[in-house]
Amino acid sequence: MPRASTLRIARLAALALVLIVIIYKITNPSSLTTLSRAAGYHEKSVSTPGPEQKAPVTSGDKPAAPAKEEVKGEEKSSVDVKTSVDEGKDYVRANATFVTLARNQDIWSLVKSIRHVEDRFNRKYHYDWVFLNDDDFDDNFKEITSSLISGNVKYGKIPKEHWGFPDWIDQEKAAEVREQMRQKQIIYGDSISYRHMCRFESGFFFQQELMKPYKYYWRVEPDIILHCDVDYDVFKYMEKNGYDYGFTLSLYEYIDTIPTLWNSVKKFIKEHPEHIAENNLMNWLSEDNGITYNRCHFWSNFEIGNLDFWRSKAYRDFFEFLDHEGGFFYERWGDAPVHSIAAGLLLPKDKVHFFDDIGYWHVPFTNCPTNKADRLKLQCTCNPVDNFIWKGYSCTPRYYDVMEMKRPSEWHQQS
């Protein structure tokens, strides 16, 4: 066939193909979108933020996105099923916030914690987040943290009277204690800032101006992991069930950091019997009805609690009594045993809740839901072999016994 004829036929075929495509598009207007998505192209809206979009951040505080409707599964599990009362388009959050004590240099270990909390929980609820620091937060810290958090973000500077030595502390004696602890290689034994932190978390975090509007809080620290989805509103759950304190891990305290703490507690009990709750957790704290302390405490790097408890006269009297005993500086009293003893003695035991379904890690311990069905339901990433809850140094088995709770069916496999 002549070359000219071949070219003519090819051109006519190409023209016919173009006409077929045009006719097809006229009769099937949605097909281009379908084809473009299949090829990896996606439409991107350039309109102003809608109700489910975050507005640009222009200052230290940022607006909270509305909470999205939560869908809860029907699968049976030994994890306590949280009812559908929290669901709905007109979702109303509890009066609650996350709270984190941090410094500017903590930013890169903190962003991982924030990401875990947002991905596993807060992306559905958009609760506020309060950051506290004994110094000013810099713009870099604010910019990065505010970009990751779906709720309002607030930054506060701790007043000097809440972060320092009180007037009644003998500085020379405190320095001698720190040196002795350094020689004994007691963890944080020679640290001044750690003692300020423990005293602040024990008696002042709930007094900060930014915390005053809230009723509930969830404490988050740098370098933590949430191993499982938290598929219900924990703040609403606390509120609905009347819980004042929630924990994930409990263990024994180092005795060298609190040698006289229980003696001070017993003096407080004698002076303030009116503050001691009936049906409390004394049997969890002591194996001889209060004569000695068995060192069990809730690990306070994770806490979900009712701020009204810390603001109560009972707790304020308790903290002020301990503060004047001097043990935050003459020993190394931590906020964990202080909070735990307070919750154990000043609250009825049914006000304290173990969040067995919140998979949590803070070096070096893990709370991993005990039963396999729960781990699958909550899309957990923790290894059940690492579950600390049933290990010998954990105080949670004792909590189960004191609370007369039935243990999960698979606990033997992790003890």
Please tell me the distance from the alpha carbon of residue 44 to that of residue 194, in angstroms, as a whole number: 48
Reference 215, options 65, 93, 355; nearest CA is 93
Q: Write the DSSP assignment of 79-143 as a string of letters.
A: SPPPPGGG-STT----SEEEEEE--GGGHHHHHHHHHHHIIIIITTT--EEEEEESSPPPHHHHH
Which residues lie closer than 8 Å to 268 by C-beta, 6 or more apart? 317, 318, 321, 322
Q: Write the DSSP assignment of 20-82 as a string of letters.
A: HHHHHHHH-TTHHHHHHHHTT------SPP-TTSPPPP-SSS-PPPPPPPP-------SSPPP
Supply φ then ψ for residue 234, to 5 degrees.
-65, -30
Under 8 Å between Cβ of 82 and 412: no
b/e burial code for range 212-250 (CB count within 10 A of at least 16 → b): eebbbbbbbbbebbbbbbbbbbbbbbbbeeebbbbbbbb
**Greatest CA separation found in the chain?**
115
Choosing from 118, 201, 253, 303, which is the catalytic residue? 303
Please tell me the distance from the alpha carbon of residue 186 to that of residue 148, in angstroms, as a whole number: 36
Please tell me the distance from the alpha carbon of residue 344 to that of residue 339, in angstroms, as a whole number: 8
Does residue 303 have an active-site annotation? yes
β-bridge partners, 224: 362
The residues annotated with a catalytic role in the active site are 303
